């Protein structure tokens, strides 16, 4: 199959490389000329484990190409995926569909022969209808079917998630589209990955419902963590105790600083707006958003509290800036409101992240960027673990204590055990586990 992937970001690049690895001929298109130039020279513009080798192997095999020119690859494609961004629209939280619609119009003009246009971007219910309308309006002669195929990969584990998905959701009522998409994913269905065919609108809603449910699960355990702190219980054990119940499941039950990232915040916001527009408000999801926003802001106060309430003149070391480990993505990372709050309260902030510092410098210019965890902790009154990179899971506690001004650790990911930190001479505060 010949595939054109429109948008070569986290989703487009990973999906394009994986489709090429399945044996298809893929052209990844992006309007960002710097990104395409870098890819043409073998440089990967994002950090995603294993992606460089996968891209290199498929480029070498002649199955994966990069270009800024949309028309030629669309004309020769059997399937065109739209994987452009759908960020929150400034001001009202709706999904900004301008990139999707612009791509649809460009695609329309270039279509030749029967082509399936598939929306992989996360889009509100009804977007497929509008994409189809725009294409038919711009090119009434086009032989086209428009389908939805939402993507569920997680950054940091994107290739594994793409190649071993829990399910593949395909939204279409067109038999030719169904056949073409089935052919594209055949290597996965041969591996027993469940492929679920459904109506286009249903597929669009599945994606938002999945993200909202996961965001709700995280927020639920975060509130239980607050209660655990008040009543002297350990949220880690509560999470294990409820997670062993198969009806609940153990995933997404890690208490922390609140969810961030490129998807959950914007997708829950968009779902709330979609629901209000259709007069079917989702009060639970609305509450999740409110609780999560408050929580992210409260983390700076938690650090201040650990240092006696006053941060003026204090130095805080922050370990981990990206919204989760194994990515360089800073979008809506909890580190941003945390650090902004610490600066507002008069603290000086030093920070270290294994791969996210370049991206972080654009968001957080007024802090000191360090070479490693110990350099970061040097002279600090408190150390805050914000992102649980594997590098921070086995720190040399004696060395840490020796370089810090005060031995205070606020562990927002519960990486360490309170007893071991107390034994090492630290004042330690985790999430939902009280203070040692």
Positive or negative, the CA dihedral 64, 67, 72, 77 is positive
Q: Coil, helix or strand for 65?
A: strand
Q: Read off the tokens for 4.
A: 């054109």
153 touches ligand NAD by CB under 6 A: yes
Residue whose C-beta lies closest to ligand NAD: 9
Of 172 and 262, CB closest to ligand NAD = 262
Of 225 and 288, CB closest to ligand NAD = 288
Counting residues that bind ligand NAD (by CB under 6 A) gives 27
Of 121 and 236, CB closest to ligand NAD = 121
User: What are the two backbone dihedrals, phi and then psi, of residue 236, each rounded to the nearest 5 degrees?
Assistant: -60, -45
Of 86 and 236, CB closest to ligand NAD = 86
204 touches ligand NAD by CB under 6 A: no
User: Cα(176)–Cα(92) distance, rounded to whole angstroms?
Assistant: 38
SS3 string, 179-211, reads HHHHHHCHHHHHCCCCEEEECHHHHHHHHHHHH
Angle, nearest 10°, between helix axes 235-243 and 200-231? 140
- Scanning 99-107, 163-171, 298-306, 370-378 for contacts with ligand NAD by CB under 6 A, the matching segment is 99-107
User: Cα(119)–Cα(100) distance, rounded to whole angstroms?
Assistant: 8
10 touches ligand NAD by CB under 6 A: yes
370 touches ligand NAD by CB under 6 A: no
Asked whether 104 and 172 are in contact (CB, 8 A), the reply is: no
414 touches ligand NAD by CB under 6 A: no
209 touches ligand NAD by CB under 6 A: no
User: Cα(328)–Cα(47) distance, rounded to whole angstroms?
Assistant: 6
31 touches ligand NAD by CB under 6 A: yes
Q: Least separation, in Å, of the C-beta of 31 and ligand NAD?
A: 4
Among 4, 9, 216, 292, binds ligand NAD (CB under 6 A): 9
349 touches ligand NAD by CB under 6 A: no
Binding map of ligand NAD across residues 250-289, x = CB under 6 A, - = no contact: ------------xx--------------------------
- Scanning 26-34, 71-79, 341-349, 371-379 for contacts with ligand NAD by CB under 6 A, the matching segment is 26-34
- Scanning 18-26, 95-103, 250-258, 343-351 for contacts with ligand NAD by CB under 6 A, the matching segment is 95-103
Query: Whose CA is closest to 147, among 104, 175, 116?
Result: 116
User: Cα(182)–Cα(174) distance, rounded to whole angstroms?
Assistant: 12
- Scanning 3-11, 130-138, 179-187, 306-314 for contacts with ligand NAD by CB under 6 A, the matching segment is 3-11
Of 153 and 383, CB closest to ligand NAD = 153
299 touches ligand NAD by CB under 6 A: no
Among 18, 19, 24, 86, binds ligand NAD (CB under 6 A): 86
> What is the DSSP code (8-state) at residue 29?
E
Q: How many CB atoms lie within 10 A of CB 224?
A: 18
Active site residues: 263
Question: How far from each other are the two terminal CA atoms of the chain, in whole angstroms?
Answer: 60
Asked whether 26 and 37 are in contact (CB, 8 A), the reply is: no
Say which residues have a Cβ less than 8 Å from residue 278's Cβ, sequence separation at least 6. none
User: Cα(264)–Cα(260) distance, rounded to whole angstroms?
Assistant: 6
27 touches ligand NAD by CB under 6 A: no
Of 12 and 258, CB closest to ligand NAD = 12
Say which residues have a Cβ less than 8 Å from residue 19's Cβ, sequence separation at least 6. 3, 5, 26, 184
388 touches ligand NAD by CB under 6 A: no
Positive or negative, the CA dihedral 181, 185, 186, 192 is negative
Q: Least separation, in Å, of the C-beta of 182 and ligand NAD?
A: 21
Q: Read off the tokens for 1.
A: 């199959």
Of 8 and 219, CB closest to ligand NAD = 8
Query: Whose CA is closest to 72, among 117, 127, 28, 126?
Result: 28
- Scanning 4-12, 172-180, 189-197, 401-409 for contacts with ligand NAD by CB under 6 A, the matching segment is 4-12
Binding-site ranges for ligand NAD (CB under 6 A): 6-12, 29-32, 35, 83-86, 99, 102-103, 106, 121-122, 151, 153, 155, 262-263
């Amino acid at each position: 199959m010949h595939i054109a992937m429109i948008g070569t970001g986290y989703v487009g690049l990973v999906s394009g490389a994986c489709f090429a690895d399945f044996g298809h001929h893929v052209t990844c298109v992006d309007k960002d000329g710097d990104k395409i130039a870098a890819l043409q020279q073998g440089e990967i513009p994002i950090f995603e484990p294993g992606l460089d080798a996968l891209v290199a192997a498929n480029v070498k095999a002649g199955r994966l190409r990069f270009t800024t020119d949309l028309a030629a690859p669309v004309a020769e494609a059997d399937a065109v995926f739209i994987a452009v961004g759908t960020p929150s629209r400034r001001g009202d939280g709706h999904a900004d569909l301008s990139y999707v619609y612009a791509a649809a119009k460009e695609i329309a003009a270039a279509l030749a022969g029967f082509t399936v246009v598939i929306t992989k971007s996360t889009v509100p219910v009804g977007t497929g209808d509008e994409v189809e309308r725009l294409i038919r309006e711009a090119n009434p002669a086009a032989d086209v079917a428009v389908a939805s195929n939402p993507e569920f990969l997680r950054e940091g584990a994107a290739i594994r998630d793409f190649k071993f998905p829990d399910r593949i959701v395909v939204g279409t009522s067109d038999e030719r589209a169904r056949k073409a998409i089935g052919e594209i994913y055949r290597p996965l269905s041969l591996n027993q990955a469940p492929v679920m065919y459904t109506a286009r609108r249903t597929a669009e809603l599945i994606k938002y419902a999945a993200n909202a449910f996961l965001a709700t699960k995280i927020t639920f355990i975060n509130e239980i963590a607050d209660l655990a702190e008040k009543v002297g219980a350990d949220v880690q054990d509560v999470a294990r105790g409820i997670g062993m119940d198969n009806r609940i499941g153990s995933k997404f039950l890690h208490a922390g600083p609140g969810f961030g990232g490129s998807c959950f915040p914007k997708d829950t916001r968009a779902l709330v707006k979609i629901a209000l527009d259709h007069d079917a408000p989702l009060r639970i999801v609305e509450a999740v958003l409110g609780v999560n926003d408050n929580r992210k802001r409260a983390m700076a106060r938690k650090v201040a509290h650990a240092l006696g309430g006053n941060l003026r003149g204090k130095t805080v070391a922050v370990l981990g800036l990206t919204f989760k480990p194994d990515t360089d993505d800073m979008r809506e990372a909890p580190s941003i409101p945390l650090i902004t709050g610490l600066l507002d309260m008069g603290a000086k902030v030093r920070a270290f992240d294994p791969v996210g510092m370049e991206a972080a410098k654009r968001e957080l210019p007024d802090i000191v960027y360090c070479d490693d965890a110990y350099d970061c902790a040097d002279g600090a009154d408190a150390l805050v673990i914000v992102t649980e990179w594997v590098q921070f899971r086995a720190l040399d506690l004696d060395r840490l204590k020796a370089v810090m001004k005060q031995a205070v650790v606020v562990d927002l990911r519960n990486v360490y055990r309170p007893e071991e930190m107390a034994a090492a001479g630290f004042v330690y505060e985790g999430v939902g586990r009280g203070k040692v």
